[in-house]
Structure 1
Amino acid sequence: MSGAVIIGAGPGIGQAVARRFAREGLAIALIARSGRTLLTAAEAVAPSGVPVVTLEADSTDQDGLNAALDEAAAAHGVPDIVVYNAAIIQADAPGELSVRGHMEAWAVNVVGALNAAAHVAPAMAAHGGGTFLITGGMPEPKPQYTSLSLGKAGVRTLVTLLDQAYGASGVHVASVTVAGPVAPGTAFDPDDIAEHYWHLHTQPRDRWEQEILHAGTS
């Protein structure tokens, strides 16, 4: 195993997924916009003792994100798994958000994932395969979360498109749909959610799933 790359390594799911893969011995590359976020995430992973690199990049900056992904590969090799966990989560009803606001949300929620996959999946395929996972949500659209509902619907379509493009070459593309607010100690505990990412990554090819729904645990 070479490593895992977490794009959007903030508190909650991003850090929980990083810790989960680190426990399996994978080297970790953390990508986020804030140096403070990266420092906190690196400290969370440190007890596992695996190599960790931190890289500042905005998911909507194509050149910056691609450069960070290249640095991660230079440090740890072609990744076994890339997790796209960046998102703009905000309440906005139809007509409340400007066109620019919708474009910015779409760029983070969908286009950043498309760019990341297009940049890393060919190398994964050439290397024998890999996993590309996207954090989804909003299993049912809600008008009070219009931009997020549109973005998460886009994630589902994007997963299908990426599977069609790269699945035959051995790249497992899937999403983890989280149907509620993430918080430790609740039915949407990030450590519980992180288990789905490991499950998808370790699925045999003949059992690949494209989506897992986390609707809450008892």
Structure 2
Amino acid sequence: MSRPAIVVVGAGPGVSGSVARRFAEEGYDVALLGQDQAVIDDLVPGLEARGATVDRAVVDVTDEQAARDAVRRFGEHAGRIDVLHFNPSAFREKDPLALTVSELLEDLALGVGALLTVVQAARPSMSSGGRITVTGSMAADDPWEGAASLGVQKAGVRNLVHSLDKTLAPDGIRAVSVTVRGALSREGAFTPDRVAEAIWSAAARDEDGWTSEVSYAG
């Protein structure tokens, strides 16, 4: 059988890069989807050193057709998608009185809408046992008003994960949002590697007692 494969959407140097490395350590091949060629290229050597075959594409995930095409190509090339990890969100430092409707909708297109795009594209390559994981945030429950759209994104994407999980569960595919209840840091409980470990653990659970949200509090 071919090796399992993970697609990391919103690939970058933080949590998403750590997630890619964590799954590579477990024998997964990795497909990286992101906006910055140099950032993606920087991730590749560390993944290959862990034995992973790496595919990559530079795509704006709010471009629905381009994102769909990239994810479908990943699935066709690997012959399977076992895990789809979704990481993107937009940080816009505006409070609710300064934030415009068009800005809010633009941010939601990235932080929520793009999840629909990539899941729908990945679904034909996913089978029973497949997992969808999302980097969640405490901003969903306790938003900072100075970046009001971020809390709306994180609340929205968590809600969408609940719906995806219910929709896909009859086919044995489960979805989970991992709510990170702390600020990312270079040391301590909230390093990208520690958060990635929590995401790995959430994805690796058995279906018995499955929940579509897991909190990581360090």
Contact map agreement 1:15 1:44 (CA 8 A) in 2: no
Q: Which amino acid aligns with 1:47?
A: A
Q: Which of 38, 47, 53 is the equivalent residue of 2:40?
A: 38
Contact map agreement 2:75 2:122 (CA 8 A) in 1: no
Q: Distance in 2 between matches of 1:153 and 1:27?
A: 30
User: Are 2:128 and 1:128 equivalent residues in the alignment?
Assistant: yes
User: Are 2:84 and 1:82 equivalent residues in the alignment?
Assistant: yes
1:24-103 maps to which residues of 2 (within 5 A)? 24-103=26-105
Percentage of matched positions with identical amino acids: 31
Contact map agreement 1:85 1:134 (CA 8 A) in 2: yes
Q: Which moved more, 1:6-15 or 1:37-46?
A: 37-46
Q: Which amino acid aligns with 1:106?
A: L
Please report how far the alpha carbon of residue 123 of structure 1 lies from its aligned counterpart in structure 2 after TM superposition. Answer: 3.7
Q: Distance in 1 between matches of 2:114 and 2:60?
A: 9
Please report how far the alpha carbon of residue 122 of structure 1 lies from its aligned counterpart in structure 2 after TM superposition. Answer: 4.6
Q: Which amino acid aligns with 1:173?
A: A
Please report how far the alpha carbon of residue 57 of structure 1 lies from its aligned counterpart in structure 2 after TM superposition. Answer: 1.1
Q: Distance in 2 between matches of 1:42 and 1:90?
A: 29
Q: Distance in 2 between matches of 1:121 and 1:194?
A: 23
Give the unaligned 5+ runs of structure 2.
none
Cα deviation code 1:104-136 (max 9, x no counterpart): 110011000122112223542xx3340011111
Cα deviation code 1:83-120 (max 9, x no counterpart): 00111123321121222211111001100012211222
Aligned length: 214
Give the unaligned 5+ runs of structure 1.
none
Please report how far the alpha carbon of residue 160 of structure 1 lies from its aligned counterpart in structure 2 after TM superposition. Answer: 1.3
Moved over 6 A (4+): none
In the alignment, what sits opposite 1:107?
Answer: 109
Q: Which amino acid aligns with 1:182?
A: L
Q: CA RMSD in A?
A: 1.5
SS in 2 for 1:146: helix
TM-score when scaled to structure 1?
0.92
In the alignment, what sits opposite 1:170?
Answer: 172
In the alignment, what sits opposite 1:6?
Answer: 8
